[in-house]
Structure 1
């Protein structure tokens, strides 16, 4: 006999900010699933309601405020042992009233950078990442076919274009040149306030004070997180098993794909957006969608639970 399908729940939540930029969290009360954890205020959408209508009602019932709902931030599919949840998070533009825990829940106004300190349900972790971290992740093309000056010049233009997180990927380059370019690229990125990760080379990342982006093949070889918390660790993933391994290792985020067919792998296997969402719901990691994507895919990516997009051609300034 096949197992009973899990019940599906659509939850709406709001990101409410005060004049100081602090964000409102509510603590789940005793007797509920995941009691004691902090979450963005909201609740279940009822039949016949739009997402905005449901959130307005929930915030009135929970907090006693009348809210004006803004644009979507992220839509997170998350599987729990007893249910499949879709967490639809919207920005609250303004509200009337004084927020209070009308259902006995504790409330806290939290500075954005302190949000990761609060223990939250799994579906809320990608929301925090969406609020704090970039929605695009540049993967550099190999410098194998150009000289150092040309490649570093293109990198500088990418940094000036607004890229805030990048991965240095340099296949086909000898070790000496790779180290030289990596050092120059890390220094340029850090001057620009851009988070930089080096593809696969844990030792070089340690030496240069950068993060590391692990290949999927490296995940089974590691038993602990390879860098301290101050240096980001990410991973390339293609399967649910790889995503779970990345999460178990303590990776800060992952890149999952390929979502669409790419010029470099025509006819290759693709997940599509629905396939991406099915894999995303098994972990709470922030995940970039990768594979044939451009900045104009970011909204669609967010609607399937992605942090944003990772790309080479779509983000590199030649």
Structure 2
């Protein structure tokens, strides 16, 4: 029996091109290509000997008839396709010379950022849209402890410091006491337009009309998405099967770890960034990395395909006690 032939690896470089109105340029894949008809960020394959910047300049000259000024790296998405292993390397385009036109017969569209999710895209492009629109930090709240008002005050401080997505989690507090505290926390998050999800408790999330963050153990028991589309659903995952279950269920994003040794999971073997990227390529969900991370890890997270970082201690106000 012959060994299975390894998949070819492709490095694609794409650009985020924004006009004076803040709209982002998309290009539609032409007939005869893989995933024909889907919309994507303009760019193409890097050829041997080219730097990513050189590849993007050449591709945009050929494809759109413009000469771009290539800016900072944005996100690097590994994605597994049936016939190839692709890495989508996305860069900001800070300016260009020329007038963008579809020089290869492709349709173009200038799209307002909030309309991007309406466009049917290849799997690798979907995490790019999420990275453009959704928060790059995901706060998981620590155990409330006996000082509920102090916990709420710390949450408010975290919101003032820029947190825009929160998971409310309690391991020991339950029943009416937790329901009342969660209700107050949800109200504070809503006042400032912050996404808020309840850990594990679907009924409580329904009662508070907010999102739910599913535990990994809950995924196999669910046959359909537990909340309507207007309310966020997320899941904690640790392997490829759980990630695929989360995607099949219709989760909006996932949390994957543990990346490094962390106080909350002292006995779990860390994935490391390469392990994270290997799992990331199996799905098109936005995925936060978790486990011993802080905002200082955001750049590295994005270069391995992460939406951003999730954390308890590193995102909770330093003056507050974490238990």
Please, what TM-score do these two structures have when normalized by structure 2? 0.97
Deviation at 1:266, TM superposition (A): 2.7
Mapping 1:1-318, distance limit 5 Å? 1-143=2-144, 145-317=145-317, 318=320
User: CA offsets per residue over residues 145-167 of structure 1, 9 Å max, x none?
Assistant: 23111100000000000001010
- Partner Cα distance (1:202, 1:16) in 2: 40
**Secondary structure at the residue paired with 1:316?**
coil
Instruction: Determine if contact 2:30/2:36 at 8 Å carries over to the other structure.
Output: yes
- Partner Cα distance (2:174, 2:25) in 1: 50
- Partner Cα distance (2:264, 2:74) in 1: 31
- Partner Cα distance (1:110, 1:240) in 2: 33
User: CA offsets per residue over residues 120-161 of structure 1, 9 Å max, x none?
Assistant: 000000000000001110000010x23111100000000000
User: CA offsets per residue over residues 88-121 of structure 1, 9 Å max, x none?
Assistant: 0011101111100000000001111110010000
User: CA offsets per residue over residues 202-243 of structure 1, 9 Å max, x none?
Assistant: 111111111000000000010110101110000000010000
**Secondary structure at the residue paired with 2:9?**
strand
**Secondary structure at the residue paired with 2:68?**
strand
User: CA offsets per residue over residues 12-63 of structure 1, 9 Å max, x none?
Assistant: 0001011111110000000000000000000001111111111111111100
Unaligned runs of at least 5 residues, structure 2? none
- Partner Cα distance (1:137, 1:51) in 2: 30
Please, what TM-score do these two structures have when normalized by structure 1? 0.98
User: CA offsets per residue over residues 67-97 of structure 1, 9 Å max, x none?
Assistant: 1111111000000000000000011101111
Deviation at 1:267, TM superposition (A): 4.3
CA RMSD between the two structures: 0.8
- Partner Cα distance (2:10, 2:265) in 1: 37
Instruction: Determine if contact 2:258/2:265 at 8 Å carries over to the other structure.
Output: no
- Partner Cα distance (2:223, 2:72) in 1: 41
- Partner Cα distance (2:51, 2:169) in 1: 43
Query: How many pairs are equivalent?
Result: 317
- Partner Cα distance (1:83, 1:250) in 2: 25
Deviation at 1:272, TM superposition (A): 0.6
Instruction: Determine if contact 2:77/2:305 at 8 Å carries over to the other structure.
Output: yes
